[in-house]
């Protein structure tokens, strides 16, 4: 059977693996017939799940037996020591050796980023590969980067993030010259530290593959007026965790309020279609998959607690990246010298 791409799946990463990986894979295989998959992990466990989901005979699924697996409790140092025998290492290595085109893992985030940087080369012109994620807004989705890969960033890093993020947005959403904003504590030009001010000046004076809109504050991210939000990994990660925590808090409070008494329960039943629609839009499973960019192949980090549907969305995201020729477009953007 012929196929256009081969996606490497670290089948043992995160909670409830490899079940969630195979479950997500089954959903995707119903929609797509151009992509093959190589699952890296303990073969007997993978075979058991493939049998459960009736995928044993699928000719687009291959298995690479791995003796070891990296757990979330392991330090980065211990993960690297385990190294070449682990499902994470071998799945990334398959991309390095051009046997697969992209890799997805729900495993240990620190280990995934470090091993990816060890095995995959950085694209010329990129100093610090950022971690990008999809963020729901009132209009559609935004891309926010960095979400935790680089705690300290300089002006050059922010400019590179802007270029990389705008290419990713164009590939995923088919929009030329996306709007890029720089996350800051205020929209006035006097706000922020010197690094942000210098970056702001440089982006205003540059000819880019995007439209720079200036500073954006945290409470503006969800408005949808900016497509790509650029920040350092410390701020981005705090913003992400704060947003997730706030969303969970609001959802929980609404649920508690509507279960207070009989009248509130009846009110909930009447309002259920509206709240169901809101819940669906805010469901983090729809946006599962942070993208480690700036390497010769993107690495997709699925949430460790993702279920099958969430993992399916990571696969879907990977397929868009492959079909959109993301890596070559990023390379061309830097080679062309767009500053």
Residue linked to tokens 């890029």: 180
Question: Which residues have C-beta within 8 Å of that of residue 307, sequence separation ≥ 6?
Answer: 16, 20, 23, 285
Predicted pLDDT at 2:
75
Are 174 and 141 within 8 A, CB to CB? no
Whole-angstrom distance, CA of residue 289 vs CA of residue 105: 9
Q: What is the pLDDT of residues 17-63, one digit of tens each?
A: 899 999 999 999 999 989 999 999 999 999 999 999 999 889 999 99
The answer to whether residue 228 scores a pLDDT higher than 80 is: yes
Predicted pLDDT at 336:
62
Beta bridge partners of 5: 35
Whole-angstrom distance, CA of residue 180 vs CA of residue 166: 7
246 and 120 in a common domain: no
305 and 234 in a common domain: no
Predicted pLDDT at 272:
65
84 and 148 in a common domain: no
Between 8-17, 79-88, 169-178, the lowest mean confidence (pLDDT) is in 79-88
Give the pair of three-digit tokens for residue 246. Answer: 């706030």
Predicted pLDDT at 339:
41
136 and 118 in a common domain: no
260 and 184 in a common domain: yes
61 and 139 in a common domain: no
Give the pair of three-digit tokens for residue 322. Answer: 């492959």
264 and 146 in a common domain: yes
Give the end-to-end CA distance of the chain in Å, rounded to a whole number: 44
305 and 272 in a common domain: no
Tell me the residue range of the domain where 317 lies: 1-126+294-339
Predicted pLDDT at 8:
97
What count of other Cβ atoms lies within 10 Å of the Cβ of residue 83? 16
Predicted pLDDT at 243:
85
Whole-angstrom distance, CA of residue 35 vs CA of residue 154: 39
Between 84-93, 228-237, 330-339, the lowest mean confidence (pLDDT) is in 330-339
Question: Which residues have C-beta within 8 Å of that of residue 48, sequence separation ≥ 6?
Answer: none
Beta bridge partners of 68: 86
| Closest to 146 measured CA to CA, from 43, 244, 234 | 234
140 and 281 in a common domain: yes
Whole-angstrom distance, CA of residue 24 vs CA of residue 288: 12
Predicted pLDDT at 1:
63
**Residue count (the chain):** 339
Are 208 and 166 within 8 A, CB to CB? yes
Q: What is the CATH number of the domain that holds 189?
A: 3.40.718.10
Give the pair of three-digit tokens for residue 136. Answer: 């729901």
268 and 328 in a common domain: no
Predicted pLDDT at 198:
94
Q: What is the pLDDT of residues 100-112, one digit of tens each?
A: 999 999 999 999 9
Predicted pLDDT at 257:
75
Per the structure, the count of domains in the chain is: 2
The answer to whether residue 10 scores a pLDDT higher than 60 is: yes
301 and 281 in a common domain: no
Report the share of the chain in percent with pLDDT over 70: 96
User: Checking phi first, is residue 192 left (phi over 0); if not, alpha (psi -120 to 50) or beta?
Assistant: left
Cis link prior to 18 (omega < 30° from 0)?
Answer: yes
| Closest to 192 measured CA to CA, from 181, 206, 180 | 181
Q: What is the pLDDT of residues 230-270, one digit of tens each?
A: 999 999 999 998 888 887 787 777 777 777 777 777 776 77
185 and 113 in a common domain: no
Show which of 267, 286, 305 is a domain's final residue: 286
Q: What is the pLDDT of residues 290-329, one digit of tens each?
A: 999 999 988 999 988 889 999 999 999 999 999 999 999 9
pTM: 0.89
The answer to whether residue 207 scores a pLDDT higher than 90 is: no
The DSSP symbol for 153 reads -
Average pLDDT, the chain: 89
């Amino acid at each position: 059977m012929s196929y256009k791409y081969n996606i490497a799946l670290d089948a043992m990463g995160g909670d409830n693996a490899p079940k969630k990986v195979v479950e997500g894979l089954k959903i995707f295989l119903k929609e797509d017939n151009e992509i093959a998959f190589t699952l890296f992990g303990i073969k007997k466990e993978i075979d058991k799940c493939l049998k459960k989901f009736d995928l044993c005979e699928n000719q687009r699924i291959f298995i690479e037996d791995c003796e070891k697996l990296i757990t979330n409790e392991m330090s980065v140092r211990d993960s690297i020591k385990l190294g070449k025998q682990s499902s994470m290492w071998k799945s990334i290595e398959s991309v390095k050796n051009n046997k697969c085109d992209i890799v997805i893992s729900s495993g240990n985030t620190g280990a995934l980023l470090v091993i990816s940087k060890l095995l995959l080369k950085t694209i010329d012109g990129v100093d610090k590969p950022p971690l990008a994620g999809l963020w729901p807004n009132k209009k559609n989705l935004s891309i926010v980067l960095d979400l935790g890969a680089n705690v300290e960033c300089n002006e050059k890093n922010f400019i590179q993030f802007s270029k990389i993020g705008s290419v990713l947005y164009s590939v995923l959403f088919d929009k030329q010259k996306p709007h890029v904003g720089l996350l800051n504590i205020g929209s006035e030009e006097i706000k922020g530290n010197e690094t942000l001010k210098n970056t702001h000046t440089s982006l205003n004076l540059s000819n880019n593959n995007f439209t720079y809109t200036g500073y954006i504050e945290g409470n503006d991210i969800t408005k949808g007026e900016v497509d790509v939000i650029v920040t350092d990994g410390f701020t981005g990660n705090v913003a992400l965790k704060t947003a997730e925590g706030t969303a969970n808090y609001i959802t929980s409070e609404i649920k508690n309020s509507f279960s207070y008494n009989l009248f509130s329960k009846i009110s909930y039943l009447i309002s259920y279609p509206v709240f169901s629609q809101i819940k669906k839009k805010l469901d983090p499973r729809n946006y599962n998959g942070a993208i480690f960019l700036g390497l010769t192949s993107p690495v997709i980090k699925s949430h460790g607690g993702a279920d099958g549907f969430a993992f399916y969305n990571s696969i879907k995201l990977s397929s868009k990246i492959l079909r959109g020729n993301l890596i070559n477009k990023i390379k061309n953007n830097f080679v062309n010298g767009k500053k």
